Amino acid sequence: MRCAVEPKRQSIVIAALGSAQTISWASSYYIPAVLAAPIAASFSLNPVWVFGAFSIALLVSALVGPWAGARIDRLGGRGVLMISNFVFALGLALLALAPSLAVLFFGWAVIGFGMGLGLYEAAFATLAGIYGKDARRLITGITLIAGFASTVGWPLSGLMLATWGWREACIGWALIHLLLALPLNALLPTVRSKSVPSVSDISEDAEPPRLALFLLSFVFAATWFNSTAMAAHLPGLLEASGASVAVAIAAGALIGPAQVAARVLEFGFLRRFNPLSSARLAASAHPVAAVCLVTFGGPVAYLFAVMHGAGNGILTIAKGTLPLALFGTAGYGARLGWLNAPARILQAGAPLLFGAALANWGLQAIWLTAGIGALATVALFLLRRT
């Protein structure tokens, strides 16, 4: 059974969950960019070791996601999200206190467990449990807020690093989880639902749903791969196209605002359309931008960044809204976990794979992500509209 939630409470739910998600992303996904180098230096290691530990966290989150989604389906998401704050805090504390590389890796594995419990998939499943198919607007709302996770997280991590050090920065994020994110998640309604079917039971006609699940899982894996590859290597790619260092950095800074602007568009105009239509448009943005970059070079660096960022912004929302629109609410949390598990695994290897392609092929490496994006677009057109 779903609890009835008054419309006036929706803004509270969006604000609370969006803010909690901002903290969860800022203190997990975005801290290696700032803290990897000082962490590695304190252990006399190359930073690649820290990014390797982060890849382990992504793999753990992929394993935990389906299990966490099933728990949310049955018990509601409030408790799972609150537990994630304790797990995040524990993992960050382990990093801060780590006397050895083994403990450091274990700390990242614990953070990965928290990511599986507490990032977008869990938040989307929580909203679906409360609002059913009406959750689309709220999913967009929380991604609008959490879209600023890097904008908030990187400067705050940098400030704590400069003021206290990397270990104290980890303790600072752990305290933010316990003192701010945990109470915010506690504001969510308590929802208990009936037992739900497994992914294999979502339809009496098993073959079409299985094909649809495969196609959608591929779309998510492809778009996560491209997003992570660009996040790691966009300045270098733009420099390979002929852009100056200053232009490449400035263009990269446009991705965040482009993502937020696209989500505002989805929150307003595009929500009138089936989410499959907006996802098709968004998935095609990166391949089109890549053709422009190869054809015209550095002068279109800003255009490439804006198109890629806008497409990525809408596709982040689609990860929650498409399964809801295509398959409904029954088993939504577990299904979302399974759909995104391959994406998390590929995401862990994206920086290394695209970095090798860029080193060997230069600008022509963009055809790798452009081809993947084109295949994702084709897969979305193969999904029938429901």
pLDDT band, residue 7 (cuts 50/70/90): low
Task: Give me the DSSP letters along 243-257.
Answer: --HHHHHHHHTTHHH
The per-residue pLDDT for 371 is 96
The pLDDT of residue 201 is 41
What is the mean pLDDT of the segment spanning 169-173? Answer: 96
Q: Which residues contact 362 (CB under 8 A, 6 or more apart)?
A: 240
Residue 111 has pLDDT above 90, yes or no: yes
Domains of the chain, earliest start first: 7-186 (1.20.1250.20), 199-382 (1.20.1250.20)
Q: What is the average pLDDT across 165-183?
A: 96
Residue type, 262: A
What pLDDT, on a 0 to 100 scale, did the predictor assign at position 198? 42
Is the full-model pTM beyond 0.95? Answer: no
Q: How far apart (Å, rounded) are the C-alpha atoms in residues 270 and 314?
A: 10
More confident residue, 45 or 175: 175
pLDDT in tens, 87-97: 999 999 999 99
Percent residues over pLDDT 90 in the chain: 38
Q: How far apart are the first and last CA of the chain?
A: 24
The whole-angstrom separation of Cα 34 and Cα 57 is: 17
> What is the mean pLDDT of the segment spanning 239-249?
86
Give tens-digit pLDDT for 21-40. Answer: 999 999 998 888 788 889 99
DSSP of 304-330? HHHHHHHHHHHHHHHHHHHHHHHH-ST
pLDDT the model gives residue 144:
84
pLDDT tens per residue, range 145-167: 887 887 788 889 888 999 999 99
Rounded distance between C-alpha atoms, residue 343 and residue 328, angstroms: 21
Residues in the chain: 386
Burial class (CB in 10 A: 0-12, 13-18, 19+), 385: exposed
Q: Which two tokens stand for residue 363?
A: 């600008």
The confidence band for 8, taking pLDDT boundaries of 50, 70 and 90, is low
Report which of 138, 136, 128, 117 is spatially closest to residue 15, judged by C-alpha positions: 138
pLDDT tens-digit series, residues 187-216: 998 765 443 444 444 433 344 678 888 999
- Structural contact between residues 248 and 301, judged by C-beta atoms closer than 8 angstroms: yes
- Which 3-state string (H, E, C) describes 372-386? HHHHHHHHHHHCCCC
106 pLDDT higher than 90: yes
Position 288 scores a pLDDT of 96
Q: Which long-range contacts (CB under 8 A, 24 or more apart) does 42-49 make?
A: 42/166, 43/101, 43/104, 45/101, 49/101
